[in-house]
Amino acid sequence: MKYLPLNPLIFKQNRGRFSREMQPASIAIFVSNDEFPTNGDALYPFKQNSDLYWLTGIVQEDTMLVLFPDHPDPKFREVLILVRPNELKEKWDGKRLRAEDGKKISGIGTVVWLDASEPLLQVWIHLAKNIYLDSNENDRKNNLIQTREYRFIKETRKKFPLHQYLRAASILKELRAVKTAEEVVVIQQAVDITAKTFSRVMKFMRPGVFEYEVEAEILHSFLSQRATGPGYSSILASGENACTLHYISNNQECKDGDLVLMDFGAEYGGYNADLTRTIPVNGKFTRRQKQVYNACLHLHQYAKSLLKPGITINKYHIQVGKEADIVFQKIGLLTKADIKNSTPEQPAYRKYLYHGISHHLGIDVHDLGPRAEPLRAGMVLTVEPGIYIQEEKMGIRIENNIWLTKNGHKDLMKDIPITVDEIEAFMKMA
């Protein structure tokens, strides 16, 4: 790992929160992600299962976690299972975690080697009445590949058919949405790395540079600050490319007079930032660009004012949509007739703002969290309205990361330039 060691209290607290939600006489078993092949004998860089990471902080293949709060022997109430270090493999692929390493990272006192774990697991499961197994219940899941967690579910149910099986994901979906203060410290580190990177990019931006050159500056800045890398594929969309929401080709020239929409965020310590800013390539907004930008900034600030404990994301989106209708009429995108003839299923503003305003953020960029239930203190969400005008070859989006508190919220990106004047002044100075 490139990042500095995290406070193991993060993972101790997370395990405690999960264990308190388990039914009596239950065991919970979590497994790591697979190592995925690319072509030939190559593998993609390993990415840990998000739930297992949230509970342990371990980023290594063939890892397992066992939680059994009611085990009669205290040392088996939390067990970390690691692959036994292999001298030959380490010569090729590097050092693997020793038992003491696993204990230090996770805060778990008992470590068992994977090749010795099967008979122990059998004994522990026989002591339990219920078995919690994990699965991917992200609402946006769209993956036809059968991952290791689903294979493990099939294998376990076949070996132990008479136990009661329960969904770990239903608990984790609630718990992971509410961040502890220690987790937010790590998210803030990812945000701070992203903020410094945005400053670097504004200094670098000028007519004639290519989008991929900007992407290279971002990657260089992330890695030089100990980030693992980008939390997701960076979007560097100049001119009309900004009307494509997930534009990642990043191969066009940034031209004088155009805007460039930049959506990027660092991953640090397993947690992510998610920033979007739209800046003028030549450092100066035109009158029309400024008008549309300020309209988007107004929506951003309005949405942020609504984001507090008690509101639901669905209700929040409806309210922001109503404000968007008003704003888009003021800047000449909609008419009164457009708004009058719209329907709840097809509101008028959707022609120019065709995505949601917020999503949960954390270990996953699109993190787990509720949509229909009221938001709670501790949740971290994005605020990212956009205005996309294809006929004007212009797209603008503005995004900050917001931590909900007991009495409102805290903007984790409050110090990043956001107004027209702030952006122009910084780029002029640069």
Compute the average pLDDT of residues 102-114: 98
186 plus 94 within the same structural domain:
no
Question: Residue 351: which of 326, 334, 337, 336 has the closest Cα?
Answer: 334
Rounded-to-integer distance, Cα 28 and Cα 15, Å: 11
- Give me the number of domains the chain comprises: 2
316 plus 372 within the same structural domain:
yes
Rounded-to-integer distance, Cα 112 and Cα 104, Å: 14
- The 10 Å CB-count burial string (b at 16+, else e) for 30-51 is bbbbbeeeeeeeeeeeeebbbb
Which residues are CB-contacts of 249 (< 8 A; sequence separation ≥ 6)? Answer: 211, 241
More confident residue, 10 or 371: 10
Residue 76, pLDDT above cutoff 90: yes
126 plus 247 within the same structural domain:
no
Rounded-to-integer distance, Cα 335 and Cα 325, Å: 9
132 plus 257 within the same structural domain:
no
Segments forming the whole domain that contains residue 310 = 181-429
313 plus 410 within the same structural domain:
yes
349 plus 307 within the same structural domain:
yes
pTM for this predicted structure: 0.96
Neighbours of 298 (CB within 10 A): 18
**Model pLDDT for residues 20-35, shown as the tens digit of each residue:** 999 999 999 999 999 9
The one-character DSSP state at 301 is: H
348 plus 211 within the same structural domain:
yes
1 assigned to some structural domain: no
Res. 145 pLDDT band, cuts 50 70 90: confident
Q: What is the CATH number of the domain that holds 95?
A: 3.40.350.10
152 plus 204 within the same structural domain:
no
Q: Which of 143, 176, 209 is the last residue of a domain?
A: 176
CB 357 within 8 A of CB 363: no
Question: Residue 223: which of 280, 189, 266 has the closest Cα?
Answer: 266
Q: Which of 126, 142, 176 is the last residue of a domain?
A: 176
195 plus 123 within the same structural domain:
no
Q: What is the CATH number of the domain that holds 377?
A: 3.90.230.10
278 plus 361 within the same structural domain:
yes
Rounded-to-integer distance, Cα 423 and Cα 427, Å: 6
Question: Residue 194: which of 249, 248, 271 has the closest Cα?
Answer: 271
Strand partners, 112: 81
Give phi and psi for 415, each to the nearest 5. -95, 0
Q: Which structure tokens are listed for 326?
A: 């008003």
392 assigned to some structural domain: yes
Res. 361 pLDDT band, cuts 50 70 90: very high
358 assigned to some structural domain: yes
**Model pLDDT for residues 249-291, shown as the tens digit of each residue:** 999 999 999 999 999 999 999 999 999 999 999 999 999 999 9
CB 176 within 8 A of CB 368: yes
